[in-house]
Amino acid sequence: MRDKDRLAEIKVMVTHLQNYNKAKNVFAEYRASGYSRKYYEAHRDVLALRQAAKQAFDEYVKENGKDTPLPRLKDLHAEYATVLERKRKPMQSIGNKNRKCRIILWHRKS
């Protein structure tokens, strides 16, 4: 898998985890209200984000097996930093070569 694709996957999973955590209290209140239609309408956007996150988690479990726990935010942030560093490393060497070429050209002109 390419680094760019993995970074996008990690971003999506982080977003779903954050949305799910934000909606935890709202869903608990919704459930306590007896799944009231009035409460649902008042908090539709938050509950929709929670539902999307729940579907993403179900898909993750289906792909990785039932025994695989969901990744933690801390682990995802660490993996994101690692993949990003790995992705940037070749770009830095290209940038260094370009700088060296510019310096050589500048000295030739002088």
Mean pLDDT calculated for residue range 40-59: 96
Mean pLDDT calculated for residue range 9-23: 95
Share of the chain above pLDDT 90, in %: 66
Q: Quote the CA–CA distance of 76 and 33 in Å, as a whole number.
A: 34
Cβ 42 vs Cβ 79: under 8 Å: no
Q: What integer pLDDT is reported at residue 101 of this predicted model?
A: 67
Residue 104's Cβ-count burial label (10 Å; 0-12, 13-18, 19+) is exposed
Q: What integer pLDDT is reported at residue 95 of this predicted model?
A: 58
Tokens of 8: 């996008």
